[in-house]
Amino acid sequence: MPVIVVANPKGGVGKSTLSTNIAGCLAAAGHAVMLGDVDRQQSARQWLALRPPNLPAIRSWEVSADDVVRPPKGTSHIVLDTPAGLHGKRLDAVMKIADRLLIPLQPSLFDIQATHRFVQELRAHRRGAEVKLGLVGMRVREHTRANEQLHSYLATLPVPVVGWLRDTQNYVQLAAHGLTLWDVAPSRVERDLEQWAALQNWIQA
């Protein structure tokens, strides 16, 4: 049972956006998905409360921020959203169950600095060699200097970039109704689905 963790020590980088859409992608593929949230803001849990019942089911996983335990039986995939400032015992608890860990970041100096330190911490962790790491560029605007700098920086990290997601209101508008890219007509989000192709392969490989 794959456990996919979405984490970054900095807040506001798009962790919940990434987590909910990963869950939606897996659910649309027919998997029995649970979405856990150890963030105090409980963004993912609030999103689940908005999700229409006629859509592919995503179950909520009640987890404590200080006591991450194995999920209940009957689940094929776990997606876990995490809080800003993840470190110490909380990081240990998450790493204990993680199979894959995605690190979203935006094209800003502060995100880059926080991510650099976080990658170092993850690689030094006792399970660092066992957990598969991946980076995702979030809210990327093509043909901007910030985007070019982000590409250049990520090329220096010993972690693969598995996706680049553009800056679009689609995510915001869908999230407001408990939806993901896979819950609406493909023609409406065609460009975004194209950007998710490589990320999907990494998640399900």
Question: What tens-digit pLDDT sequence spans the chain (205 residues)?
Answer: 899 999 998 888 899 999 999 999 999 999 999 998 776 666 778 899 999 999 999 988 766 545 555 666 778 999 999 888 788 888 888 898 899 999 999 888 888 888 888 999 999 999 989 999 999 999 988 878 888 888 888 888 889 999 999 999 999 999 999 999 999 999 999 999 999 999 999 998 6
**Would you say domain 3-204 falls under CATH 3.90.1150.10?**
no
Picking from 135, 137, 106, 136, the residue whose alpha carbon sits closest to that of residue 122 is 135
Ramachandran bin of 85, using left for φ above 0, alpha for ψ from -120 to 50, beta for the remaining angles: left
Question: The pTM is what?
Answer: 0.91
Tally Cβ neighbours within 10 Å of residue 98. 24
